[in-house]
Structure 1
Amino acid sequence: MAHLVETMAYAGEVPWHGLGVRVPHDLSPYEMQVAAGLDWTVEKQSMSTSEGIVIPNKKALVRSSDRSVLSIVSATWEPCQNETAFQFFDEFCRAGDMQMHTAGSLKNGRIVWVLAKVDESFELFGGDRVDSYLLFSNPHEFGHSIDIRFTPIRVVCNNTLTLSLRSVSNNSVKFSHHKQNFEITLKSAKKMLGLAQEQFYSYRQTAESLGEKRYRDETAIEYLDNLFPNFSEKKRGEYLHWDELSKTSKKIYQLIETQPGHQFRPGSWWNVFNAVTYFTDHERGDSADARLASAWFGKSRVLKVKALEKAIEYSKAA
């Protein structure tokens, strides 16, 4: 399997995925960009057929370092260069008392990202700490927006969550690559980032609520089957049975009271939810870089948001 993480650098503690090279804390945005192997540019180039006929309204997005084509874009699509992106995100870091923590690229340079640590954390249940981060991504890929997401990370097990859907939609800031919208949306994004702290407090309330609600075996089984259904088995009674669960659901069920940090709130929906995030971040997939790509930009990101929403739903009925 091809590596999804192309380059990466981090300052401070080793990140949860264990990837990248360590760098000093005091690097400038450009120095961090160079350390992460992101000191390259992209440019739009005309495309033509094998007969030499120019293809209208389409451009190839070409990377300077190796002349590889990252994407096919429209004529109005404007790339955001890595240096511009780093300077832009550095403004958020300095204005919001944040530190640039990790930077890298995925999918052969198609996604460039930076993770910044916010000076906010909370501790629950006598030692279960959650730290706050902002994840900034600059995709060099048509159809994808530049965005910033609120990303809480549970310290004891390094479970991650990138919140950007439905009930938590306000913690994602997005803007397009169309030239006429770029500057306007940059200004609005800066204003919207003030919501990050508000979202962090909201997540704390959710975590506290899940920690107070007890799960029953049959409801935990139903919850997991909702996320990882076993289509080969038919429900035999009012409640699902253990042997009717999918292999993935069985693995996660066994993690509920054995995962790192399970001792802080045994028997709670907080444990059930974190069993899902622990599995997707640390056990699912073939490699650490595949799990990272999926956790932040792929199927696991969507799955974990659904897992949180369903955990809230089930806990309210408990």
Structure 2
Amino acid sequence: MSHLVESMAYVGDMPWHKLGSRLEKGMPLEVWADKAGLNWEINRSPVMFDTGQEKESLLSFEDKSVLYRSDTGNALSVVGQRYNVVQPREILEFYKDLTEVSGFELETAGVLKGGKKIWALARTGQSTSLKGNDTSNGYVLLATACDGSMATTAQFTSVRVVCNNTLAISISQDKEGAVKIPHSTSFDPEAIKKQLGISVSSWDTFMYQMKILSERKVSLKEARSFYHEVLIPPHNLGNDNAGVKSIAKAISLYEGNGRGSQLESSRHTAYGLLNSITEFVDHEKRAITAEHRMDSAWFGHGATTKKKALDAALSLVA
């Protein structure tokens, strides 16, 4: 079976998805590009088609291009002429001044789906502990795709140390909680940084919300209502069999089997409910491979489920 993750590099402890090659801290971007599999370019070529006629049977479709890898020649996608490519090196270079001037540290970067999706994640240096020494660290994630699955996206992300659960942080009251640049627009890293703010405000707001959640005790009835809201799709409401296994697993994580579930911040609290969902999505939910789980947890259905859990948890303290 082919892997979603073609290559990946990281520093420090092995990431929660247990993938990649370890690097020492402070490596230059050239080393990151090599080890993370980002040392190639996305090229484009006209789409050609065969008419089956003897003369001039191979014609070009002028409105479309094939994107392909410079190193392997493998096709990545078919796009329109207005499509703006974001090169793998641009994802890493986004962090250049942040690591050299602002103290950010690249922690992981890599390639998904044979190059159709690429990302890099850097620690911001922000860190906060809730009661019981429950610590979370702040990160900035930048990712893009050339297969139509996502725009170029930059967002703050938290990682809870005790369990390596990941959760996106909103940069404002915006529902999306991220800066998204469609491929119909040119990639402007400085404009993205300006939109992100690269400040402590988003982190402080997020951790204040987590503190409030950690102080909100919940009843068993509230917990079951929370899991039904988060884990049962709207079209399956009223179906007694919908989501039974997922809910049972999440409740088990909440009631003591989850990493960090016995900490004072999580035990019988709204924060504990939220963490049981992030752990379920990041570590326990059924997936074809760890790579598929990672892709879902960061960019797909898993990320949507975690956002839904955050909204449901915050509604308990509204």
**Normalising by structure 2, what TM-score?**
0.89
* Aligned positions of 1:29-108 closer than 5 A: 29-51=29-51, 52-108=58-114
Match of 1:279? 280
Q: Secondary structure at the match of 1:58?
A: strand
1:101-128 CA distances to partner (integer Å, 9 max, x unpaired)? 1110111111110010111100001210
Match of 1:248? 246
Q: Distance in 2 between matches of 1:74 and 1:21?
A: 35
Residue pair 1:163, 1:305 contacting (<8 A) in 2 also:
no
| Counterpart pick for 1:295 among 297, 301, 305 | 297
TM-aligned CA deviation for residue 311 of structure 1: 0.8
Pair 1:191-2:190 in alignment: no
Matched residues, number: 306
Q: Distance in 1 between matches of 2:194 and 2:72?
A: 37
Q: Which amino acid aligns with 2:74?
A: S
Q: Distance in 1 between matches of 2:169 and 2:204?
A: 13
Q: Which amino acid aligns with 1:256?
A: Y
Q: Which amino acid aligns with 1:18?
A: K
1:180-206 CA distances to partner (integer Å, 9 max, x unpaired)? x426x4332121232552111111011
TM-aligned CA deviation for residue 165 of structure 1: 9.3
Q: Secondary structure at the match of 2:280?
A: helix
Match of 2:55? none
Q: Which runs of 4+ in 1 moved over 6 A?
A: none
1:19-71 CA distances to partner (integer Å, 9 max, x unpaired)? 10101112111210101122111111001112212112100001112211111
Q: Which amino acid aligns with 1:98?
A: F
Farther-moved stretch of structure 1 (73-82 vs 217-226): 73-82
Does the C-alpha gap of structure 1 residues 120 and 293 become closer, same or farther in structure 2, counting only changes over 3 Å? same
CA RMSD of aligned residues (A): 2.3
TM-aligned CA deviation for residue 263 of structure 1: 2.0
Does the C-alpha gap of structure 1 residues 292 and 256 become closer, same or farther in structure 2, counting only changes over 3 Å? same
TM-aligned CA deviation for residue 234 of structure 1: 5.4
Pair 1:219-2:222 in alignment: yes
Residue ranges of structure 2 left out of the alignment (5+ in a row): 52-57
Q: Which amino acid aligns with 1:291?
A: R
TM-aligned CA deviation for residue 91 of structure 1: 2.5
Pair 1:304-2:306 in alignment: yes
Q: Which amino acid aligns with 2:99?
A: C
Match of 1:109? 115
More helix by share: 1
Q: Give % identity.
A: 29
Farther-moved stretch of structure 1 (285-294 vs 60-69): 285-294
**Normalising by structure 1, what TM-score?**
0.89
Match of 2:54? none
Residue pair 1:11, 1:102 contacting (<8 A) in 2 also:
yes
Residue ranges of structure 1 left out of the alignment (5+ in a row): 236-242
